[in-house]
Amino acid sequence: MNLVKDIVIVGGGTAGWMTAAAMSALIPANHRIRLVESDLISTIGVGEATIPVIRGFNDLIGVDEDEFMRETQATFKLGIEFRNWGKVGDNYIHGFGTVGRDQHLAKFYQYWLKMYQSGQADELEKYSINTMMPRMGKFMRATREHGDSPFADIAHAFHFDAGLYARYLRGRAERQGVVRTEGKIVSVAQRADNGFVEAVIMESGERIAGDLFIDCSGLHGLLIEGTLKTGYEDWSHWLPCDSAIAVPCESFGPLAPVTRSTAHTAGWQWRIPLQHRIGNGHVFCSKFMDAEEAERILLSNLDGKQLADPRHIKFKTGKRKQGWNKNVVAMGLASGFMEPLESTSIHMIQTAITRLLMLFPHQGFDQADVDYYNAQYTREYETIRDFLILHYKINQRSEPFWTYCREMEVPASLQRKIDLYESNGRIFRDNEELFAETSWLQVMHGQGLRPRGYNPLVDQQSPEAIADLLQGVKEVVRNCVEAMPTHEQYIAANCKAALMS
Ligand code: FAD
């Protein structure tokens, strides 16, 4: 019996420490977990915006949310504000959570769409608490105290400092028994009979053997690619940005409870407000813009004083052909990368961890488990990929980069969704995909896609009844948001972090 007892996590970035914290909290104590990281090989140092499912991860490993917010200088996030994406001057928010109140027959947005098409409905964002809160700079967590009101619908995630998050998780993991080894891995030993990884060899000469290896070594994938040559599916023809420049700046203005994404001529810029600073970055396509130009654009669009030298990062969008190969499971950037447009990478670390825990090879490796893991890994990557491509495809901008994106052929799975929406405004969530109908709606509508018709089921209700429904939702949402504290007030009262020296 090939029992899995020794687990070796290679890498101490967000992926490594998330994995270490979760495994040490959740798998039986008779396993030994070691994490190897090198102070000489820096972590990617970005990855600071999340989506609401991270709260499930924090709950799972027993993290107290206010403590986590204080320790990581975090702020709350209700969605993403997209500027200049459909065309220059456009501005929409992709908010988490619900839009309006779904009815028995049809979703709320289908009623809204019918009225919008005849000029009798307001902008979509007026009907969702998660989009009106950032518009008015307000925040509170969801509560059911007021019954089934929009207060119960609030869906939040976080912006946090990636370095502080890794440090916070490291503290938890080490207290739970994870042993950390600092040093550089210089080679990898494989078993002669089956090619499984047997040990990693450190620069010091130490040999760290294991049964299961979790590759969290970052973009180059030390074990999954360097050793096992798993192969990579390159998606850069669909998501052509291949470079990023990141730079922090001083805080400025009210603390926005949204990430801001501003499209530029060959990419886009992120703005992530934290309690102690703002994280900024420019993601761009090097075929259409050189790095000097990209850096100039980034630095001239900072809200506050620049706090460090800009950091340049190169990447290739895509995924490994397998996320689990032999006794190596890749997590985080080692498993693949899609640009941070919808803050999905940390989420995918989380799902990879839970998927591995569900299929944990405690009795040894079974190919059926590995195959199921890989099928789920591929499905998750492909559905998120389609949603990201949508942002680029639907645009009316004139620059060569945007023209390329508009004219490119997209995956058939995405084209079907676009066609379905364009006909009668129908959206279906396929195969438990991450992004719900309301996410697709907000992005498709926000970037200017307009259906030719609407779902005829809504004609079961009179136009007057639909108008009342819309008006009621809009008023209740507005009243709820008006009654809330500002984002700063809420943080000050609940989870204010100490000043950083
Ligand atoms: P890394 O942080 O690169 O860590 C790799 C680790 O491996 C390091 O500890 C290093 O020391 C170790 N290592 C490597 N080789 C060796 C060796 N030979 N010996 C010993 N140790 C070794 N995600 C989001 O969810 N939201 C975002 O807003 C977001 N923004 C992003 C913006 C950009 C530009 C990029 C590129 C990514 C972004 N991501 C985002 C993704 C996110 O940053 C990563 O998913 C996350 O940080 C995980 O990184 P990692 O731990 O896999 O790798």
On whether the CB atoms of residues 308 and 249 are closer than 8 A, the answer is no
* H-assigned helices in 52-190: 54-60, 65-71, 108-117, 129-135, 162-175
CA of 162 to the centre of ligand 1 (A): 9
Instruction: Give residue 280's pLDDT.
Output: 98
pLDDT surpasses 90 at 2: no
| Structure token pair of residue 135 | 């518009």
pLDDT surpasses 90 at 303: yes
* 23-37, 239-253, 380-394: segment of lowest average pLDDT: 23-37
What is the rounded distance in angstroms from the CA atom of residue 145 to the CA atom of residue 139? Answer: 16
> Taking the complete model, does pTM exceed 0.85, yes or no?
yes
Q: What is the pLDDT of residues 152-161, one digit of tens each?
A: 999 999 999 9
Nearest atom, ligand 1, residue 246 CA: 34
pLDDT surpasses 90 at 307: yes
CA of 442 to the centre of ligand 1 (A): 29
CA of 344 to the centre of ligand 1 (A): 13
* 145-149, 338-342, 386-390: segment of lowest average pLDDT: 145-149
- Residue found by looking up tokens 């739970």 in the block: 176
Mean pLDDT of 191-216: 97
Q: Is 13 in the pocket of ligand 1 (CB under 6 A)?
A: yes
- Residue found by looking up tokens 């108008």 in the block: 467
| Structure token pair of residue 344 | 């999905």
Q: Is 49 in the pocket of ligand 1 (CB under 6 A)?
A: yes
On whether the CB atoms of residues 130 and 79 are closer than 8 A, the answer is yes
Instruction: Give residue 28's pLDDT.
Output: 81
Q: Is 333 in the pocket of ligand 1 (CB under 6 A)?
A: yes
Q: What is the pLDDT of residues 375-409, one digit of tens each?
A: 999 999 999 999 999 999 999 999 999 999 999 99
The whole-chain average pLDDT of the chain stands at 96
SS3 202: strand
Instruction: Give residue 430's pLDDT.
Output: 84
Instruction: Give residue 334's pLDDT.
Output: 98
Domains of the chain: 6-48+161-234+317-365 (3.50.50.60), 96-150+386-485 (no CATH), 243-314 (no CATH)
Partners of 213 in the β-ladder: 8, 328
Q: Is 157 in the pocket of ligand 1 (CB under 6 A)?
A: no
Q: Is 8 in the pocket of ligand 1 (CB under 6 A)?
A: no
Give me the phi and psi of 193, to 5 degrees please: -75, -40
| Structure token pair of residue 281 | 């970055």
Who's near 181: CB < 8 A, 6+ residues apart? 34, 35, 36, 37, 202, 206, 208
SS3 80: strand
Mean pLDDT of 29-34: 91
Q: Is 446 in the pocket of ligand 1 (CB under 6 A)?
A: no
Task: Assign 144 a pLDDT band (cuts: 50, 70, 90).
Answer: confident
What is the rounded distance in angstroms from the CA atom of residue 444 to the CA atom of residue 252? Answer: 31
pLDDT surpasses 70 at 137: yes
What is the share, in percent, of the chain residues with pLDDT greater than 70? Answer: 99
CA 378 from centroid of its chain's CA atoms: 16
Pocket test for ligand 1, best of 38, 53, 223, 274 (most atoms within 8 A of CB): 38
CA of 264 to the centre of ligand 1 (A): 25
CA of 51 to the centre of ligand 1 (A): 17
SS3 319: strand
Mean pLDDT of 19-43: 94
CA of 331 to the centre of ligand 1 (A): 10
What is the rounded distance in angstroms from the CA atom of residue 212 to the CA atom of residue 73? Answer: 34
Nearest atom, ligand 1, residue 162 CA: 47
* 15-24, 100-109, 442-451, 485-494: segment of lowest average pLDDT: 100-109
Q: Is 467 in the pocket of ligand 1 (CB under 6 A)?
A: no
- Give the burial string for 321-330 (b: 16+ CB within 10 Å, else e): bbbbbbbbbb
Q: Is 27 in the pocket of ligand 1 (CB under 6 A)?
A: no
CA of 150 to the centre of ligand 1 (A): 37
Q: Is 259 in the pocket of ligand 1 (CB under 6 A)?
A: no
Q: Is 12 in the pocket of ligand 1 (CB under 6 A)?
A: yes
Task: Assign 105 a pLDDT band (cuts: 50, 70, 90).
Answer: confident
Which amino acid does the sequence have at 22?
Answer: A
Q: Is 15 in the pocket of ligand 1 (CB under 6 A)?
A: yes
pLDDT surpasses 70 at 221: yes
pLDDT surpasses 80 at 1: no
CA of 343 to the centre of ligand 1 (A): 14
Mean pLDDT of 234-255: 97
Q: What is the pLDDT of residues 444-486, one digit of tens each?
A: 999 999 999 999 999 999 999 999 999 999 999 999 999 999 9
